[in-house]
Amino acid sequence: MKLKSLLLTSVFYAGAVCSAEAETLKWARAGDALTLDPHAQNEGPTITLGRQIMEPLVDRDMKGGLVPGLATEWRPSESDPNVWTFTLRDGVKFHDGADFDSEDVVFSINRAMTEKSNYREVLASVAEVRATGPYTVEIVTKGPNPIMPNNLTNLLIMDKGWAEANDAVDVQDYEGGESTYAAKNANGTGPYKVVSREPDVKTVLERFDGYWGLGQFPLQVTRIEASPIQNPATRVAALLSGEVDFIQDVPVQDLSRVDGSEGLDVRKAPQNRVIFFGMNQGDADLANDNVDGRNPLSDVRVRQAMNMAINREAIQKIVMRGQSEPAGVALPPFVNGWTAELDKVPATDIAAAKALMEEAGYGDGFSIKLDCPNDRYINDEAICQASVGMFAQIGINVNLDAKPKAQHFPLINNLESDFYMLGWGVPTYDSEYIFNFLVHSKGEAYGSWNSTRYSNAELDKAIEALASETNIAARNESIGAIWDQVQEDVLYLPIHHQVLNWGMKSNVDAIVDPEDSPKFKYFAFK
């Protein structure tokens, strides 16, 4: 399990790294990062921007493989199975010239474990983190944790001194509407430093010439100009006109148009992400329906009926134009615990669904509001619109309320939505990550994104036990049993696994990252 002197996938670039002339990459996607505070929002575009500026101890390359980041090696202790030891990279500088050391790591991990952090579930098994030297850190867990390094790949490290000097010790309360210095400023060890930041308008980054990875990565992108362009047609027009060089989310209806344009390519790959609907099945009554004194979503027969009403193949063919894979479980195929049997797509059966509605006492249907983002996932609002018609076939009148993710996500986290769309990627590539965030009862250390109000004490115990189960066969068996219960309870309504379509100038040499998180230090130019 000792990982030492791992070969970086970028090593073949060495020697050509800084010989290229300065290159600016103009990058656009539908939505902006929500904040620069690295621990406030565990959200894809937010992480993607943040990781250009800051870095984790353990990183992933553009193929999803684990590689050294700010730690050069990590191993479980030979004397104590509850301890992981991390050896840190020596000689690393923050953008302001400050030295990186173990104090920054201890500070960052402890910060990410606080109440306002969106990363508490990732660190739920951590009992203590301690510096045992300037370049060694020990993470003590509440029992042997076989996948502790996997949990750190999106946990970005801050400069302790900078945070203290700028009143940024506490994590930004994003859901509470708080704005802090760390929300718009950053001082990292990453390959790029912040030049300017105008949220929802433009962010400019420049290559950090004091970066420890100079000579190890291409780093031919020396300036990044990131601009969110929510409107799909405008985003494509910007790429076609040369206004931008790279758009991360080519609309499915424009794939052939972009790929057929001289000097442009569409790069495709399956994504480690599943899209689904969540339902408030725990409250006695709903705030956003027309049923008084009852909660129709609390009846598993209603949830089963809704699951059977979704025509996933129609969404795939018509809405997504083939650029998705229908899902039967809220679990991407990349992730440990996935099986083809779990992911079997339920047949669309309107007659059977109507019968279940009648049996549950809702033969006349009901009305409910569906909260949906319109700038986060591929064709998110269009998927919701198509689903509205499908639910109507079984008597559920859905009132669609689509809004930008900056307004959508707080509705979920603040328990203000009864029916909502969400997408979930799994950076650890293990089911425990999903369980901790989406299945475990909502509480201090777990369930921050479980807005279904679902709570199962026995399942909670089984989920918590995964963090210290070192018998892999037994652990996988437990994972399977948890998924069986989740499926039986129809906790979520899976829709599909996303397919990524990156549109870019043909001279950009890059592969599609399965996390949909381009790491620009790997990009080169032909």
pLDDT for residue 21: 53
To the nearest 10°, the Cα dihedral for 6, 11, 14, 20? -130
Residues 143 and 207 in one domain: yes
| Span 185-226, pLDDT tens digits | 999 999 999 999 999 999 999 999 999 999 999 999 999 999
Residue entry with tokens 């509205």: 388
CA 79 to chain centre: 35
Residues 204 and 97 in one domain: yes
pLDDT for residue 444: 84
Residues 418 and 369 in one domain: yes
Question: How many Å apart are CA 478 and CA 147, to the nearest integer?
Answer: 15
Domain extent at residue 115 = 3-263+506-525
Residue 137 backbone phi and psi in degrees, to 5: -135, 140
Residues 491 and 513 in one domain: no
> Three-state SS string across 81-96, please?
CCEEEEEECCCCECCC
| Span 54-92, pLDDT tens digits | 999 999 999 999 999 999 999 999 999 999 999 999 999
Q: Looking at this protein, which amino acid is placed at residue 463?
A: I
Domain CATH number, residue 374: 3.10.105.10
Domain CATH number, residue 219: 3.40.190.10
| Span 262-295, pLDDT tens digits | 999 999 999 999 999 999 999 999 999 999 999 9
Question: How many Å apart are CA 196 and CA 173, to the nearest integer?
Answer: 22
Residues 402 and 333 in one domain: yes
Percent of the chain with pLDDT over 90: 95
pLDDT for residue 4: 32
Question: How many Å apart are CA 4 and CA 83, to the nearest integer?
Answer: 17
Residues 118 and 144 in one domain: yes
Closest CA to 396 of 281, 285, 283, 296: 296
Residue 230: pLDDT band (50, 70, 90) is very high
Residues 170 and 277 in one domain: no
| Span 91-146, pLDDT tens digits | 999 999 999 999 999 999 999 999 999 999 999 999 999 999 999 999 999 999 99
Residues 259 and 288 in one domain: no
- Given a contact cutoff of 8 angstroms between Cβ atoms, the answer to whether 153 and 428 are in contact is yes
- Return all residues near 245 (Cβ < 8 A) that are at least 6 apart: 25, 26, 27, 239, 504, 505, 508
Closest CA to 188 of 73, 60, 47: 47
| Span 141-169, pLDDT tens digits | 999 999 999 999 999 999 999 999 999 99
Which regions of 280-321 does DSSP assign to beta strands (E)?
A: none
Question: How many Å apart are CA 474 and CA 433, to the nearest integer?
Answer: 17
The total number of structural domains that make up the chain: 2
CB atoms within 10 A of CB 178: 15
Closest CA to 23 of 504, 369, 435: 504
What rounded mean pLDDT belongs to the chain? 94
Residues 196 and 180 in one domain: yes
Residues 490 and 515 in one domain: no
Residues 63 and 145 in one domain: yes
**What's the number of CA atoms in the CB half-sphere (13 Å) around residue 29?**
22
pLDDT for residue 26: 98
Residue 5: pLDDT band (50, 70, 90) is very low
Residue 22: pLDDT band (50, 70, 90) is low
Coil, strand or helix: which one is 434? helix
Residues 521 and 401 in one domain: no
